[in-house]
């Protein structure tokens, strides 16, 4: 089988190298028969597509590369497109994707790092770090004590890699963890799980709310202005999902009004966020530039391991665990 | 036995209340015979001392209250002075303390909160939060990716409640934990432990350094300018000990020079830190106002439980676990 790896241009930190490929093959010797090509240019991409059966690529170029109806013409042998990101919302709608081609996301690369970022953000909000950061700017030494996380309630929306990683850490700190996800079913690190339909009943209990769901038609504006009002006074929010999952302006308003005590967001609308944007300057808001889930030291190794797991499943006639359902969007 | 509780004036958040006392007695019914008095004024303090056999007090007033040689005259029946802080350095030198009076610290109240603060600080430094805070001030969206903590080396100086609490959390995140303390002896959450004499050999391995020791004559300026130079380039430091344990100016110089990547300090010289002090404004330095170890929701409960454990030991003729050795200073 021919696989083409299309690396992002000008991003050596995340480009998959031949050495990483060789190391991954050494971990998965049953994949040694794959014929691999690499490119990071448009020309390399175009010339690899006629023969490629598997494509490993960043998600962003897909819609431009494959306008609706074009894929069978430019990549007639393609069976699998594996994306290097967990969220594939920027490739939606999936009108460009024939049923015969499986789209894989990269769910599973991000759990560890997202778990660490999530618990860091929760600890920062619990400790009052946004307040201390303001005081530091003013040179003001003003203690404000805080309790430990034990027994505090966190609601986590989305229990994939990101949310699951945060749930595991939250449980280690003795928090009461309430998971919200599509469909029911228990989660090993949650004290309770509820379906998304129950969100309005769950939000009033959220001392902490962690948004960790994919962005889909159903989750766009999930945390609306009305739902922010359902949160208890003094609630704190961590957003490692997508900026469009919450009403960004309403969140800023709720911080300004004192209804929310603090937020840490790793996502924004738009990204990159313009320098003059209100989000940067809303008191109580900590903004990081979309770094919560990408562990650069281990990212490519995990990406290749996950791809190989899926190819193995395909070869053995099992469902590919990372296959995206275009109707759901994840 | 008569016990007097001298609460700090004007600090209702940390004053021990009758209700907290009653709840503690309910947890330790063998202590029901204690006759307790409370005060937060100078007059109340003075009038309780002639009869008090046990004193529970903030550490700061002790040296003023008991000038050298004065204690037997003003508090002739006193057998135990229990301090509500873990560090008793502000009561040193102990020339005022007769051998017949046991001084207890409050070691054990702080482990959980200090562990959470410590791992938060390590996660913040690993993630580059001081850099992102600068970028946020400038409205600059500039990703900088970071790996997880797994396998990173942290050197923790001091393995009492504070350092032990951090070691436990660091181990949960898969870090390699190297403990440094007076005397040898393994620690359950450390991969290695070394005596303080080995510090110069250990520092070059410290990707992270956590200062969590008491301030004594031996630890004053422990992290000197020369020892900062022994740290690897890009090292990160968390100080939850005392500001005088490191050379504060040398730390700022090392941040300015880029030798250190970042620091989180919860302590400073002096406290409160004046608004114009360089520490507030050194890039890469996060300053919090001495809040790393005090869990206000549980502090007084733990304080009383620890006191009762010690009184029980005294009654049974066992060594009191929290007794301070004035020669060592902790």
pLDDT at A267 over 70: yes
Question: Using an 8 Å Cβ cutoff, are B125 and B208 in contact?
Answer: yes
Q: How far apart are CA A128 and CA A144, in angstroms?
A: 8
Number of helices (H) and strands (E) in chain A: give both, helices first.
Answer: 12, 12
Pick the range with the lowest mean pLDDT from A19-28, A244-253, B8-17, B255-264: B8-17
Mean of per-residue pLDDT scores for chain A: 95
* A137: confidence class by pLDDT, cuts 50, 70, 90: very high
Residue A320 falls inside a structural domain: no
User: Residue B288: which of A113, A126, A132 has the nearest Cβ?
Assistant: A132
Q: Based on the domain organization, do B88 and B227 belong to the same domain? A: no
Preceding omega of A270 cis (within 30 degrees of 0)? yes
> For residue B276, what are the contacts with CB-CB under 8 A and spacing of at least 6?
A139
Beta strands at A176-181 and A153-157: parallel, antiparallel or unpaired:
parallel
State the Cα torsion B50-B51-B55-B60 to the nearest 10°: -20
B1-17 tens-digit pLDDT? 999 999 998 888 789 99
Q: Based on the domain organization, do B66 and B119 belong to the same domain? A: no
pLDDT at A148 over 90: yes
B289 in A contact zone (CB under 8 Å): yes
B28-81 tens-digit pLDDT? 999 999 999 999 999 999 999 999 999 999 988 898 899 999 999 999 999 999
User: What's the confidence (pLDDT) of residue B60?
Assistant: 85
User: What's the confidence (pLDDT) of residue A184?
Assistant: 65
- Residues of chain A neighbouring B128 (CB-CB closer than 8 A): 291
Q: Based on the domain organization, do A155 and A9 belong to the same domain? A: no
> For the residues A221-235, what does the mean pLDDT come to?
98
Among residues A255, A226, A41, the alpha carbon closest in space to that of A131 is found at A255
A38-56 tens-digit pLDDT? 999 999 999 999 999 999 9
A103 in B contact zone (CB under 8 Å): no
User: What's the confidence (pLDDT) of residue B10?
Assistant: 83
Among residues A252, A230, A226, the alpha carbon closest in space to that of A239 is found at A252
Q: Based on the domain organization, do B143 and B73 belong to the same domain? A: no
Q: How far apart are CA B324 and CA B217, in angstroms?
A: 15
User: What's the confidence (pLDDT) of residue A211?
Assistant: 98
Q: Based on the domain organization, do B103 and B123 belong to the same domain? A: no
pLDDT at B319 over 70: yes
pLDDT at A104 over 90: yes
Residue A327 falls inside a structural domain: no
pLDDT at A219 over 70: yes
Among residues B124, B144, B104, B149, the alpha carbon closest in space to that of B322 is found at B104
B112 in A contact zone (CB under 8 Å): yes
In B257-286, the residues whose Cβ lies within 8 Å of chain A are 268, 271-277, 280-281, 286
Q: Based on the domain organization, do B163 and B261 belong to the same domain? A: yes
Residue B73 falls inside a structural domain: yes
A240-256 tens-digit pLDDT? 999 999 999 999 999 99
Q: Based on the domain organization, do A301 and A278 belong to the same domain? A: no
What is the percent of chain A where pLDDT is above 70? 100
B208 in A contact zone (CB under 8 Å): no
Give the residue from chain A lying closest to B121, CA to CA: A120
Question: Using an 8 Å Cβ cutoff, are B133 and B309 in contact?
Answer: no
Residue A323 falls inside a structural domain: no
Interhelix angle B129-138/B111-127, nearest 10 degrees: 60
A139 in B contact zone (CB under 8 Å): yes
What are the C-alpha distances in Å from B148 to residues A109, A118, A158, B191?
12, 12, 21, 19
Domains identified in chain A, total number? 2
Q: What does DSSP assign to residue A109? A: S
Residue A273 falls inside a structural domain: yes
What is the percent of chain B where pLDDT is above 90? 88
Residue B328 falls inside a structural domain: no
Beta bridge partners of A326: none
Q: Which residue has the tokens 């209340």?
A: B17
Mean of per-residue pLDDT scores for chain B: 95
> Taking chain A, what is the end-to-end CA distance rounded to the nearest angstrom?
26
Q: Which of A269, A287, A305 is the last residue of a domain?
A: A287
- Residues of chain B neighbouring A127 (CB-CB closer than 8 A): 116-117, 120, 288, 291
What is the percent of chain B where pLDDT is above 70? 100
B189-240 tens-digit pLDDT? 999 999 999 999 999 999 999 999 999 999 999 999 999 999 999 999 999 9
> For the residues A129-138, what does the mean pLDDT come to?
95
N residues, chain B: 330
CA distance, residue B141 to nearest chain A CA (Å) = 5
Q: Based on the domain organization, do A22 and A79 belong to the same domain? A: yes
CA distance, residue A230 to nearest chain B CA (Å) = 26
A149-192 tens-digit pLDDT? 999 999 999 999 899 999 999 999 999 999 999 876 889 999 99
How far from the centroid of its chain's Cα atoms is residue B154's Cα? Answer: 19
Residue A66 falls inside a structural domain: yes
Q: Based on the domain organization, do B124 and B262 belong to the same domain? A: yes
Q: Mutate which of B14, B129, B295, B296 to test chain A, going by most A C-beta atoms within 10 A?
A: B129
Q: What does DSSP assign to residue B242? A: -
* A133: confidence class by pLDDT, cuts 50, 70, 90: very high
* A294: confidence class by pLDDT, cuts 50, 70, 90: confident
Q: Based on the domain organization, do B115 and B95 belong to the same domain? A: no
Preceding omega of B28 cis (within 30 degrees of 0)? no
C-beta atoms of B145 and A13 within 8 A: yes
> For the residues B298-321, what does the mean pLDDT come to?
94
pLDDT at B260 over 70: yes
CATH number at residue B263: 3.40.50.720
User: What's the confidence (pLDDT) of residue A226?
Assistant: 98
Q: How far apart are CA A209 and CA A211, in angstroms?
A: 7
* B184: confidence class by pLDDT, cuts 50, 70, 90: low
Q: Based on the domain organization, do A251 and A191 belong to the same domain? A: yes
What is the percent of chain A where pLDDT is above 90? 88
Q: How far apart are CA B81 and CA B49, in angstroms?
A: 11
Residue A26 falls inside a structural domain: yes
Beta bridge partners of B6: B39, B57
A63-101 tens-digit pLDDT? 889 999 999 999 999 999 999 988 899 899 999 999 999
User: What's the confidence (pLDDT) of residue A330?
Assistant: 87
Domain that holds residue B162: 111-287
C-beta atoms of A123 and B120 within 8 A: yes
Q: Based on the domain organization, do B231 and B209 belong to the same domain? A: yes
> For the residues A260-273, what does the mean pLDDT come to?
98
């Amino acid at each position: 089988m021919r696989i083409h790896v299309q690396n992002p241009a000008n991003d050596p930190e995340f480009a998959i190298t031949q050495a990483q490929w060789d190391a991954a093959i050494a971990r998965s010797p049953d994949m040694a028969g794959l014929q691999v090509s690499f490119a990071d240019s448009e020309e390399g991409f175009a010339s690899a597509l006629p023969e490629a059966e598997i494509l490993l690529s960043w998600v962003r170029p897909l819609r431009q590369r494959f306008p609706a109806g074009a894929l069978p013409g430019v990549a007639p042998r393609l069976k699998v497109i594996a994306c290097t990101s967990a969220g594939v919302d920027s490739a939606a709608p999936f009108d460009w994707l024939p049923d015969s081609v499986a789209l894989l996301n990269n769910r599973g690369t991000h759990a560890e790092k997202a778990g660490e970022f999530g618990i860091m953000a929760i600890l920062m909000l619990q400790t009052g770090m946004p307040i201390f950061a303001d005081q530091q700017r003013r040179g003001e030494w003003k203690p404000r004590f805080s309790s430990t996380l034990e027994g505090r309630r966190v609601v986590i929306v989305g229990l994939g890699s990101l949310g699951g990683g945060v749930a595991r850490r939250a449980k280690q700190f003795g928090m009461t963890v309430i998971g919200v996800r599509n469909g029911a079913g228990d989660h090993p690190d949650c004290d309770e799980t509820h379906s998304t339909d129950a969100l309005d009943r769950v939000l009033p209990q959220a001392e902490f709310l962690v948004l960790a769901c994919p962005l889909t038609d159903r989750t766009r504006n999930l945390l609306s202005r009305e739902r922010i009002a359902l949160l208890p006074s003094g609630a704190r929010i961590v957003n490692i999902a997508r900026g469009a999952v919450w009403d960004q302006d309403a969140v800023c308003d709720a911080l300004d009004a004192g209804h929310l005590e603090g937020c840490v967001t790793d996502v924004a609308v738009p990204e990159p966020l313009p320098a003059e944007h209100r989000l940067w300057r809303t008191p109580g808001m900590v903004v990081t530039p979309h770094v919560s889930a990408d562990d650069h030291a281990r990212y490519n190794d995990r990406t290749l391991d996950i791809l190989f797991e899926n190819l193995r499943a395909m070869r053995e006639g099992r469902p590919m665990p990372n296959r995206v359902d275009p109707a759901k969007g994840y």
